[in-house]
Chain A
Amino acid sequence: MHEMGICDGIVTASLEAAGKENASRINSIEVTIGVLTEIQEEALQFAFSVLTKDSIAEGSTLNVTMVPARSVCGECSAEFGHGRFDAKCPECGSYVCTLIHGRELQIDSMDID
């Protein structure tokens, strides 16, 4: 259940940003999450509904964009998308690859009144 800890980060940062804007309500929050963080959207949504209760974000929508894994090959510099387990270069077969997408944990924006 690290979704609760992750979601606490989302809610705390959003409420802080909303406070700076003197918002009366948060309508929606957009976040980007990489698939390799092993975060389950369902658990995240549940945590969100719990953590926003009795705040100006209660009832707001959490829009999650999941980012697939992508790596760049350290041998031939090819860039390729892959699953959770097979970061193997399709061009030269090397496993020495650097991950460039898939571990994102970012709050992008929110809609407030």
Chain B
Amino acid sequence: MRVDIAKGILEKNDTLAEGNRELFARKGVFVVDLMASPGAGKTSTILATIAALRDRYRIAVIEGDIASRVDAEKIAAHGIPAVQINTGGACHLESDMIRRAVDTLDLDEIDLLIIENVGNLVCPTDFDLGEHAKIMILSVPEGHDKPYKYPGIFQLSEAVILNKYDTVSFFDFNEEEFRSVVHDLNPTAPVFAIAATKGEGVDAWVEWLAARIEAAKVVQS
């Protein structure tokens, strides 16, 4: 007997993500899902963002890793609430994990929640977490050809951060080609060249983010 289902494969995740989105809207929390390869500088970028925006916004961080609490401890050392999610092997975060992590935070005391996804350029793209914006980081040593190999993540990100830009002269990184391919894949996404550990170029990125947060407030109110 044939039975029609006609259901999204990720319907359960999408429904839970919608619930997260409603909760974030109700509490006035702007949520960023930060995606990158392992070692691209997600945690360093978060720390640089915290340093630049902590006087303007109350920030909290959810750290997604397969194992360890290393990243959450780094963030917490700066006096910022941080929750560690250990996926235990899973290559991406899902909306139910976010909900459990969020339930341990006081959302009334948070304006900006940064989610550091598991280091991976493929899997996180299909999973809606209820965030306002997906942002990706590529670091210079990974090479300018990554948008050819992982187009999906470049297409779905609202903005692209090019990290470790201070090392660009040491690598065979064709910045013009990189920017051109990113533009072809995603014409509206800005590219921010930064050196997170030195704070270089961070201003343009955080001002874009702050403008995005303020725009979301107008929509919500």
Chain A interface residues toward B at CB < 8 A: 1-2, 5-6, 9-10, 12-14, 17-18, 21, 23, 31, 36-38, 84-88, 95-96, 99, 105-113
Tell me which of A88, A99, A105, A113 has the highest count of chain B C-beta atoms within 10 A of its own C-beta.
A105
**Given the known A-B contacts A2-B91, A12-B12, A109-B2, are A37 and B152 also in contact in the complex, defined by CB atoms under 8 Å?**
yes
Question: Least Cβ distance of B4 to chain A in Å?
Answer: 5
**Given the known A-B contacts A85-B185, A88-B184, A110-B3, are A9 and B92 also in contact in the complex, defined by CB atoms under 8 Å?**
no
B123, CB-defined interface residue at 8 Å = yes
Q: Which residues of B contact A95 (CB under 8 A)?
A: 183-184, 187
Q: Contact: A111 with B7, CB < 8 Å?
A: no
A1-B123, A109-B5, A110-B2 given. 10 additional CB < 8 A pairs? A2-B122, A5-B90, A18-B3, A38-B122, A106-B6, A106-B9, A109-B2, A109-B4, A110-B5, A111-B2
Q: Which residues of B contact A99 (CB under 8 A)?
A: 155
Q: Contact: A13 with B11, CB < 8 Å?
A: yes
Kindly supply a per-residue 1/0 record for chain B positions 148-179, scoring 1 wherever the CB is within 8 Å of any chain A CB and 0 otherwise. Answer: 10111001000000000000000000000000
Q: Which residues of B contact A85 (CB under 8 A)?
A: 148, 151, 184-185
Whose C-beta in chain A lies nearest to the C-beta of B150?
Answer: A38
Q: Contact: A9 with B1, CB < 8 Å?
A: no
Q: Contact: A1 with B7, CB < 8 Å?
A: no
Q: Contact: B3 with A105, CB < 8 Å?
A: no
Q: Contact: A9 with B122, CB < 8 Å?
A: no
B8, CB-defined interface residue at 8 Å = yes
Main SS at interface, chain A:
mixed
Of the four ranges (under 10, 10 to 19, 20 to 34, 35 or more), the interface on chain B belongs to 20 to 34
User: In the assembly, what is the distance between CA of A2 and CA of B152, in Å?
Assistant: 14
User: In the assembly, what is the distance between CA of A6 and CA of B9, in Å?
Assistant: 7
Question: Least Cβ distance of B66 to chain A in Å?
Answer: 12
Q: Contact: A6 with B91, CB < 8 Å?
A: no
Q: Which residues of B contact A1 (CB under 8 A)?
A: 91, 123
Q: Which residues of A contact B92 (CB under 8 A)?
A: 2, 5
User: In the assembly, what is the distance between CA of A9 and CA of B12, in Å?
Assistant: 8
Q: Which residues of B contact A13 (CB under 8 A)?
A: 5, 7, 9, 11-12
Kindly supply a per-residue 1/0 record for chain B positions 182-217, scoring 1 wherever the CB is within 8 Å of any chain A CB and 0 otherwise. Answer: 011101100000000000000000000000000000
User: In the assembly, what is the distance between CA of A12 and CA of B12, in Å?
Assistant: 10
Could you list 26 A-B pairs, sorted by A, with CB under 8 Å? A2-B123, A2-B126, A5-B90, A5-B94, A5-B127, A9-B10, A10-B9, A12-B12, A13-B9, A13-B11, A13-B12, A14-B5, A17-B7, A23-B1, A38-B150, A38-B152, A84-B151, A85-B151, A87-B184, A95-B183, A107-B8, A109-B3, A110-B2, A110-B3, A111-B3, A112-B3
User: In the assembly, what is the distance between CA of A37 and CA of B216, in Å?
Assistant: 28
